[in-house]
Chain A
């Protein structure tokens, strides 16, 4: 079964304490992406990756880092979390990237609370 897995699913942390949210896909897809979902704002893209060692900023990259050392994993790193990063985070994978035609499939989400 094609899956995107995220861990942890729920996380409560304090301001300034570094954290990593992992994302893994089992479909060998080149494209992966991170989004945050906030009420009234929909989903906003944080970072995306077209392939191993190829990453680029989305619409709201400030305060986040990503890495793509291998195709299956795309972790999201918050070096110094702040309360405004409290949100619901989704990782996504994309199939057959052909100039943007790919469909993105989403993980179950990670709910983060930064105190």
Chain B
């Protein structure tokens, strides 16, 4: 079974400061990892994913994430947060084993960027 932990319910950051949203995962074998963002009253938007290769993945809106296999983590980062980044962020994982078609999401992190 695969699972994701997003340990913080809410992340507060001042505008212009670095933003980090934490994610750790548990999966058998190699993981496929995803980050999604949900703005108020909207659906989920895909930000980025790690499948294989370079551990640092760059995505939409200036976000990036670093895959760390030894720490089983995939933290989302942005060097300089904007007020418009205030949203709910979800990390998700799927095992890369053949026939595994189920995606497990974390409970989400509310990010509040303070002007």
Chain A residues engaging chain B, CB cutoff 8 angstroms: 4, 31, 33, 35, 40-45, 48, 50, 56, 58-59, 90, 92, 97, 99-101, 103-109
B43 touches A90 (CB 8 A): yes
Residues of A within 8 A of B36 (CB): 106
Tell me which of B42, B45, B96, B105 contacts A43 (CB under 8 A).
Answer: B105
Q: Which residue of B lies closest to A4 (CB)?
A: B43
Interface check B94, CB cutoff 8 A: yes
A106 touches B43 (CB 8 A): yes
B34: chain A residues within 8 A (beta carbon):
103-104
Known: A42-B105, A45-B103. A107 touches B43 (CB 8 A): yes
Across the interface, B102 reaches (CB within 8 A) one of A59, A103, A105, A106, namely A59
User: Is the pair A104, B43 in contact by a Cβ cutoff of 8 Å?
Assistant: no
Most buried by B among A92, A99, A101: A99
Cβ B51 vs Cβ A104 within 8 A: no
Interface string of B98-112 (1 = CB under 8 A from A): 101111111110000
Q: Are B103 and A104 in contact (CB under 8 A)?
A: yes
A41 / chain B contacts, CB cutoff of 8 Å: 107
Residue from A45, A59, A90, A99 in contact with B44 in the complex, judged by beta carbons closer than 8 Å: A90
Contact A42 B106 (CB under 8 A): yes
How many angstroms from the CA of A45 to the CA of B101 in the assembled complex? Answer: 11
A residues in contact with B90, CB < 8 Å: 42-43
Query: Could you pull out 30 A-B pairs where Cβ atoms are within 8 angstroms?
Result: A4-B43, A31-B101, A40-B107, A41-B107, A42-B4, A42-B6, A42-B108, A43-B44, A43-B90, A43-B92, A45-B102, A50-B101, A56-B101, A58-B102, A92-B44, A99-B100, A100-B32, A100-B95, A100-B100, A101-B32, A101-B96, A103-B46, A103-B49, A104-B34, A104-B103, A106-B36, A106-B44, A106-B45, A107-B43, A108-B42
